[in-house]
């Protein structure tokens, strides 16, 4: 049991997400409950896993935001993807796996060991689907960076985050908490914070979104998605 932090209902979002991916049976829920007993708190800005180090234990993000990130020798930084409650961390199934990217906490987070799942079990299916969605998010990120302009990149990322947070029950209608600075957004979108700031102002002026520090509200997600040709990630038929 973690100290100084009650096992609140927040981690429920992680289970909500996994349930949305594949219907979990009692055994799976028990395994998750069990794993949560060994939850571990990681402070904002601390590494959860480190690039190039051996992965000793796959983990499940229970609450808070994390991000996969790469640092270049000269100090440039690139966020590869964001991880939300219910996302897997370091889940690969070969021996002596090295982390291919650092995972850093973007807020104070709670993680727990990822319960083992027998081949074919509901939990196993949920993991596979989760990994496939992760891959989908990476592909979306590549397309964003390669072929969208600044305005489109911002909208596209916010739409993705909104969809994902809706899936795990963290969004409130069209609004959601976004614990990211404009500089962080810039390092995710391949832009400078100055330009992100200008484009965000433009988006606000045009009525596409409302922005308070730590909170975003999209005026019309569906309309915005149509406007920029955004498609949600889908990895299974029904």
Partner DNA sequence: CGACTTATTGAAGACCGTCAATTACTGTGG
Partner DNA sequence: CCACAGTAATTGACGGTCTTCAATAAGTCG
Q: CB of 69: closest distance to a second copy in angstroms? A: 10
Query: 44 or 235: whose CB is closer to a second copy?
Result: 235
Query: 21 or 216: whose CB is closer to DNA?
Result: 216
Contact of 151 with 144, CB cutoff 8 Å: no
Determine which residue in the list 61, 191, 216, 224 makes contact with DNA, applying CB under 7 A: 191
Question: 139: exposed, middle or buried (C-beta count within 10 Å: 0-12, 13-18, 19+)?
Answer: exposed
The option from a second copy, DNA, none interacting with 118 (CB < 5 to 8 A, set by class) reads none
Contact of 18 with 91, CB cutoff 8 Å: no
Residues 125-164, mask of contacts with DNA (x by CB under 7 A): ------------------------xxx-------------
Contact of 21 with 124, CB cutoff 8 Å: no
Which residues in 19-78 contact DNA (CB under 7 A)? none
23-31, long-range: CB within 8 Å, 24+ apart, which pairs?
23/122, 24/122, 24/123, 24/126, 25/121, 25/122, 27/121, 27/123, 28/115, 28/117, 28/121, 28/122, 28/123, 28/126, 31/115, 31/116, 31/117, 31/123
Q: CB of 85: closest distance to a second copy in angstroms? A: 21
Contact of 94 with 42, CB cutoff 8 Å: no
Determine which residue in the list 47, 108, 177, 183 makes contact with DNA, applying CB under 7 A: 183
- Is 181 a binder of DNA (CB under 7 A)? yes
Contact footprint for a second copy (CB under 8 A):
52, 54, 68, 70, 72-74, 76-78, 80, 92-98, 100-101, 119, 125, 128-129, 131-132, 135-136, 138-139, 141-143, 145-147, 187-190, 229, 233-238
Q: CB of 84: closest distance to a second copy in angstroms? A: 18
- The C-alpha atoms of residue 94 and residue 190 are separated, in whole angstroms, by 32
Q: H-helix or E-strand containing 108? A: none
Q: CB of 149: closest distance to DNA in angstroms? A: 3
Number of residues that bind DNA (CB under 7 A): 18
Q: CB of 65: closest distance to a second copy in angstroms? A: 18
| Encoded tokens for 23 | 């219907």
């Amino acid at each position: 049991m973690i100290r100084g932090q009650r096992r609140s209902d927040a981690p429920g979002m992680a289970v909500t997400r996994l349930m949305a991916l594949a219907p979990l049976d009692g055994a799976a829920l028990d395994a998750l409950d069990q794993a949560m007993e060994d939850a571990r708190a990681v402070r904002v800005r601390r590494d959860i896993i480190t690039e190039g180090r051996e992965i000793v234990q796959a983990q499940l993000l229970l609450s808070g935001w994390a991000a996969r990130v790469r640092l270049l020798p000269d100090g440039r930084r690139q966020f590869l993807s964001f991880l939300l409650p219910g996302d897997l961390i370091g889940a690969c199934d070969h021996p002596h796996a090295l982390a291919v990217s650092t995972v850093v906490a973007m807020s104070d987070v709670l993680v727990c060991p990822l319960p083992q799942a027998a081949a074919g079990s509901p939990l196993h299916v949920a993991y596979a689907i989760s990994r496939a969605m992760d891959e989908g998010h990476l592909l979306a990120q590549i397309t964003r960076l390669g072929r969208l302009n600044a305005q489109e990149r911002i909208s596209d990322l916010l739409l993705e985050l909104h969809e994902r947070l809706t899936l795990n029950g963290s969004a409130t209608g069209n609004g959601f908490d976004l614990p990211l600075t404009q500089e962080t957004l810039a390092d995710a979108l391949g832009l400078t914070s100055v330009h992100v700031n200008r484009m965000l102002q433009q988006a606000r002026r045009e009525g596409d979104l409302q922005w308070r520090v730590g909170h975003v509200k999209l005026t019309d997600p569906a309309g915005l998605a149509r406007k920029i040709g955004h498609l949600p990630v889908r990895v299974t038929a029904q």
